[in-house]
Amino acid sequence: MNNPYMPRPYTLIATQKETEIDSTFVFEAKDRFVGGQFMQVSLPGVGEAPISISDFDADTLTMTIRKVGRVTDRLFAMKPGETLYMRGPYGNGFKQAWFKDKDMVVIAGGTGLAPVKNTIDTFISNQAAIKGLQIIVGFKSPKDVLFKDMLHKWQEQVPIILTVDQGDDTWPYKVGLIPSHIKDLDLSDVENKTVILVGPPMMMKFTTLELLRLGFAEENIWVSFERKMSCGIGKCGHCKIDETYVCLEGPVFNYTKAKTLLD
Amino acid sequence: MSIDRKLVTKNAYRITKIRNKTALRVRVPGGHLEAKYFQIIQEVAEKYGDGTVHLTTRQGFECPGIDFDQIPQINKMIRPLIESLGLDVDYGDGGYPAAGTRNISACIGNRVCPYANDDTTRIANSLEKAVYPHDFHFKIAVTGCPNDCIKAHMQDFGIICLTEPQYDSKRCITCEACVDNCKKKVTGALSVKNFNIERDIEKCIGCGECILKCPAGAWTRSEEKYYRMVIMGRTGKKNPRLAMPFIKWATEEEITQIIKNTYGFVERYIDTSLPKEHIGYIVDRMGYQVFKKEVLEGITLNPKALVAEHIQWHGYHYKTDMQFNHEGL
Amino acid sequence: MGYELTQQEMKAYFKTLTKQYRLVGPIREKAKGSFSDTDKIVYGVFEDIEDLVLEEKAFYSPKEFLMPIRETLFHFIDGQIVEPKIDTKPILIFARPCDLNGIRRLDTIFLKNGDIKDAYYERRRQLVKYVMIECREGFDTCFCVSMGSNTYTDYEAAIRFEGDHSLLEVVDSTLVTQDLSRVRKTDFVPEYIKENKVKVEIPPTDKVNKSLFEHPLWKEYTRRCIACGRCNTSCITCSCFTMQDVEVSDDGLLDERRRVWASCHIKGYTDMAGGHGFRKQNGERMRFKTMHKINDYHKRFGEHMCVGCGRCDDVCPEYISFSKCINKLSEIIKEESHE
């Protein structure tokens, strides 16, 4: 039986604590991935969960995961050298071809930064392929900030607006919700700028409204959806919205399509 | 006018407050009858009575305003009704055997109600045949489920129909509709373990709600039907109280035999110096353990049946449990 | 080739077939109805042709023989992953055209949606052949004619039950047994129902717009629907499932992954880890199901998902009629286009 549900074992090689509830897990992996795709990660007897790929190279696969349920709770107890099971990758991901020669703005809220991390890295390391890059990253509070070292590295190379909903005395960057900072971007030739937007549903909704208000074109906005998924291959039905299956046609959608997807 | 009051009342005719007038009482075991018999009741009421009919609390009809001397004609008229009950034809044209043991009433049961776990009218009829006619004042009622719409808890013997839910995990979609419902509406006997539903048999009261709620047919009814019998509930002028569970997961045969045995128990211990002594007071006087031993005599209970070790009836005594004042404080 | 069989010949013929096939059809489960002293008509395995129940519609569809309510995907045994074996005896499903059209919808989802086939479905599907039960009358809630699923031609055999002398058409030569050599040949071609009591008018897919999604109609269903999911579990075309992982042994060395039917009406269907979910209102769930059955699926695959079997109407404890809902939508769209 050519069984698409059969998971394969992957060895955990490193973990990195990001926040109290988020950690990064690096696995040995030789598969080919696209940033923004997801894996069905499973622990036998515990469950299976769709988790987006945050980074990869020829030999590794990295996922930054928030502890939110049965599977992730158990995942956090894993130590390097141990094995878990995965199948995938699934979904379209952020295809670099869509962004060639584009003047890019990447906007990520909270754990939404994970699925775009690899894409940002690729933009930064190959800036000749795009026209420009600006980034807005927002978190709830300073203690929720992911990829601190990486963010500092990015800051040295491209303009980044780093904001938290609520700051504290030690927070040196911006404070306020992401939509309130969009006007602070370089908005020259705004109708030709291309946006990648990932984050929680409410953040995505209000950010999109602000982008459109400021003159961004609908067809230049790309968003990533998160839905319950049990199969990842268009069978289980959970991620279906109108005639679209998020696992097959997404999770990345152009806004012209995304705006028609009513749950 | 001379009438034998005791004989008349035994024969379903009542002494009324109007001198020389009686009332016919037509009881309907199980509370369900063919509509064609209304014609007879109507005729009795209009021809011999005052043209009105009272619906009694124990599911009968009472036609008031009848002259005592019309009793023989009326008894002939109501003959088809008596036959419809399948009563002993020995009664002939002697009318309705009544008084003593009261009409065995029943909720509408599973002929109509989705919640009912059995045909309560059928059970009432079958009990009727087992115990009627009898002089002892027994109140028996059958209710289709633990909602107890017939108020089985107000009877000497309240019979509550149960089903033992059967769970087929292969059909379960773990929607938890049964668990949520049991928690909210019943006793919270169900819980989820490893996506399967576990039924706590201590807590389960056999109402069958889980079966009704299941969208996938994972819960079904047991082949065997079961009954919980609550006993010695009463109203009255001394100590009104709710009946308490005596036996649960009993079969129909078992509950029938227990009731029959109880007639013997009463026979042995009734205080004949009183005009009538209600059975609950006899049990109070003799003690539950004596009652239990004697009514279970000769019955081999099915392995699922559970009998109450002790029963503490609650309720209140008018004489001792009341404190009132005018201030409402 | 057509045959006319007496009841005795029918019994003998199908008895022979049970050697090669599991016969699956609508049968009576005594006293297994939800209400006491009621039977339930379900799809089940039978051996005697007389056990088939034709005068009532089955509460559930035959889909559970293609996608069991719970299906073990594999066992994890101390680091090994083992796929469970299934009974590979072929199945003859006795079903009416609506259900056979419904199975084609299941085929579409499991075998044609996306590039990857569902191997678990496929291995069961390959075991199945159809004996189409001719259906010329239908039942009170059926609306197969409106859905175009009153006819079906891709069957291995078709049968008309007519008391003493049933008529049989056999297309698949492997179903021609010795028993048939002795019976009377006849030209039998099954007929199909031409008109149902219930008719629906499907809103044209190009007219379904955002305003329909936000229409107050759905609020009516928020009030009426109790989200029990019977419309989904009884539906021949509902195919959603969820994964369940179970630790079978306490030492954690034996684990099971299975899938189990899921349903867009039942709580938790859209809930993600972390708690965010969509469609909290029951009316929104009704809208989602309705749109899938009579709009979205058509946009994706070119035919409607709903086959008009009417089971959702039969089983709804709140007397919500799906056919009525469809017609209400058409009315709304007509009114809107007049304005």
Confidence band for B7, pLDDT divided at 50, 70 and 90? confident
Indicate if the alpha-carbon torsion angle A75, A76, A82, A88 is positive or negative. positive
- Would you say residue C164 has pLDDT above 90? no
Q: Residue A175's pLDDT band (boundaries 50, 70, 90)?
A: very high
Contact C36/B163, CB-based, under 8 Å?
yes
- Provide residues of B within 8 Å CB-CB of chain C: 110, 114, 116-119, 161, 163, 169-177, 194-195, 208, 211-217, 220-221, 223, 225
What is the CB neighbour count within 10 angstroms for residue C338?
6
Distance of alpha carbon B168 from alpha carbon B145, whole angstroms: 23
| pLDDT above 90 coverage of chain A, percent | 93
Nearest CA-CA partner of C310 in C324, C327, C322: C322
Helix crossing, C282-291 with C217-224: angle to 10°?
A: 120
Preceding omega of A89 cis (within 30 degrees of 0): yes
Provide the percentage of residues in chain A whose pLDDT is more than 70.
100
Q: Is the per-residue pLDDT at C14 higher than 70?
A: yes
Do β-strands A132-139 and A160-164 pair in parallel, antiparallel, or remain unpaired?
Answer: parallel
Cβ-Cβ contacts under 8 Å, C35 against chain B: 110, 114, 212
Instruction: Answer yes or no: do B240 and B298 share one domain.
Output: yes
| CA–CA distance, B161 with B120 (Å, rounded to integer) | 8
Please state, rounded to an integer, the average pLDDT across all residues of chain A.
Answer: 94
Q: Which domain holds residue B204?
A: 165-220
Considering the domain A96-224 in this protein, what is its CATH number? 3.40.50.80
The partner residue sitting opposite A47, judged by closest CB among C121, C245, C276, is C245
Cβ-contact A141, A155 below 8 angstroms: no
Provide the domain count of chain B.
Answer: 3
Contact A230 C241 (CB under 8 A): yes
* Predicted confidence (pLDDT) per residue in A206-255, tens digit: 999 999 999 999 999 999 998 999 999 999 999 999 999 999 999 999 99
pLDDT computed for residue B84 by the predictor: 80
Q: A246: part of which helix (H) or strand (E)? A: helix A246-249
pLDDT at position B89, please? 52
Contact call for C37 and B170, based on CB within 8 A: no
Q: For the domain that residue B47 is a member of, what is the CATH number? A: 3.90.480.20
> d(Cα B202, Cα A168) in Å, to the nearest integer?
55
Looking at CA atoms only, how far is residue C81 from chain A in angstroms?
Answer: 8
C chain contacts of residue B161, beta-carbon cutoff 8 Å: 36
Label residue B87 by pLDDT band (50, 70, 90).
low
Contact B217 C261 (CB under 8 A): no
Same domain, B245 and B273: yes
- B121 within a domain of the structure (yes/no): yes
Domain boundaries, chain A: 8-90, 96-224
Q: What is the pLDDT of residue C61?
A: 97
Chain C residues lying within 8 Å of A200, measured CB to CB: 276
**B224-257 pLDDT tens trace:** 999 999 999 999 999 999 999 999 999 999 999 9
Segment B103-118, tens digit of pLDDT: 999 999 999 999 999 9
**Chain C residues within 8 A of B172 when measuring between CB atoms:** 69-70, 260
Classify residue B313: in a domain, yes or no: no
For residue A243, give the nearest of C118, C239, C296 by CB distance: C296
- Nearest CB among A5, A68, A238 relative to C270 is that of A238
Cα separation, A16 vs A25, in Å, equals 7
Chains that touch C (3 or more CB pairs under 8 A): A, B
Q: C74 at the A interface (CB within 8 A)? A: yes
- Statement to judge: residues B83 and B119 lie in one domain: no
The CA distance from B133 to B82, in Å, is 12
CA distance linking residue B210 with residue C57, whole number of Å = 24
Query: Same domain for B28 and B80?
Result: yes
Question: Would you call B25 helix, strand, or coil by DSSP?
Answer: strand
Q: C160 - beta bridge partners? A: C167
Cα B74 from Cα B65, distance rounded (Å): 13
Closest-CA distance of chain A to residue C132, Å = 27
Minimal Cα–Cα distance from C280 to chain B, Å? 15
Q: Do C73 and A43 touch (CB under 8 A)?
A: no
**Residue linked to tokens 């009694």:** B56
Q: Which residues of B153-168 are buried (b: 16+ CB within 10 A; e: fewer)?
A: bbbbbbbbbbbbbebe
From the CB of residue A103, how many other CB atoms can be counted at a distance below 10 Å? 19
d(Cα C235, Cα C143) in Å, to the nearest integer? Answer: 14
Pull the structure tokens for residue B50.
């005052």
From the list C240, C274, C278, which residue is nearest A237 (CB)? C240
pLDDT at B321 over 80: no
Instruction: Flag whether residue A164 sits within 8 Å of chain C, measured between CB atoms.
Output: no
Instruction: Please name the residues between 66 and 95 in chain A that touch chain C, using a CB distance below 8 Å.
Output: 66, 68-72, 85
Q: Is there a single domain that holds both residue B211 and residue B136?
A: no
Q: How many CB pairs under 8 A join B and C?
A: 72
C113·A66 Cβ contact <8 A: no
pLDDT digits (tens, 9 = 90+) for C23-44: 999 999 999 999 999 999 999 9
**Of C197, C30, C204, C62, residue with least CA distance to C132:** C62
Q: Is B92 left (phi over 0), alpha (psi -120 to 50) or beta?
A: left
From the CA of C284, how many Å to the nearest CA of chain A? 9
Residues B56 and B154 both lie in one domain: no
pLDDT at B306 over 60: yes
Residue holding tokens 């990295």? Answer: A62
This model of the complex carries an ipTM of 0.95
Kindly identify which residue of chain C lies nearest to residue A3, measuring between CA atoms. Answer: C119
What mean pLDDT comes out for the span A34-49?
93
By C-alpha distance, the chain C residue nearest A73 is: C273
Residue found by looking up tokens 């602070």 in the block: A184
CA of C30 to nearest chain B CA: how many angstroms apart? 9
- Inspect the interface and report whether the beta carbons of A235 and C110 lie closer than 8 Å: yes
CATH number at residue B155: 3.30.413.10
Answer whether residue A257 shows pLDDT above 60. Answer: yes
Find, in chain C, the residue whose alpha carbon is nearest to that of A246.
C114
Three-state SS at C182: coil
In this structure, chain B runs to a length of: 329
Q: Calculate how close chain B gets to C208, using CA atoms only, in Å.
A: 31
Place C249 in a pLDDT band, splitting at 50, 70 and 90. confident
Q: How far is CA C215 from the centre of its chain?
A: 29
Q: Which of A148, A80, A150, A145 is nearest to A118 (CA)?
A: A150
Question: Which member of C109, C123, C276 has the closest CB to residue A235?
Answer: C109
Q: How many CB atoms lie within 10 A of CB C209?
A: 11
Do C34 and B212 count as a contact with CB atoms less than 8 A apart? yes
| A262 interfaces chain C, CB cutoff of 8 Å | yes
Is residue B190 in some structural domain? yes
Whether residue B314 lies inside any domain: the answer is no
CATH number of the domain bearing residue B208? 3.30.70.20
What does the block give as tokens for C115?
């590039």
Do B301 and B230 fall into the same domain?
Answer: yes
Number of independent structural domains in chain C: 1
Name the minimum distance, in Å, from the CA of B118 to any CA of chain C: 6
Last residue of a domain, one of B91, B122, B151: B91
In DSSP notation, C48-101 reads SGGGB--SS--SS-GGGGTS-SEEEEEEEETTEEEPPP---S-EEEEE-HHHHH
Distance from CA of B222 to the nearest CA of C (A): 9
Judgement on whether residues B75 and B24 belong to the same structural domain of the protein: yes
* DSSP symbol at B92: T
Cβ atoms of B245 and B229 closer than 8 Å: yes
Tell me, what DSSP letter sits at residue A138? E
Query: In angstroms, rounded to a whole number, what is the distance separating the alpha carbons of residues A228 and B193?
Result: 22
Per residue in B154-212, pLDDT (tens digit) is 999 999 999 999 999 999 999 999 999 999 999 999 999 999 999 999 999 999 999 99
| Chains in touch with A (≥3 Cβ pairs < 8 A) | C
Predicted pLDDT at C29: 96
Beta bridge partners of C174: none
A8-90 has which fold? Elongation Factor Tu (Ef-tu); domain 3 (2.40.30)
* pLDDT computed for residue C339 by the predictor: 63
**CA dist., res. B147 & res. B206, Å (int):** 11
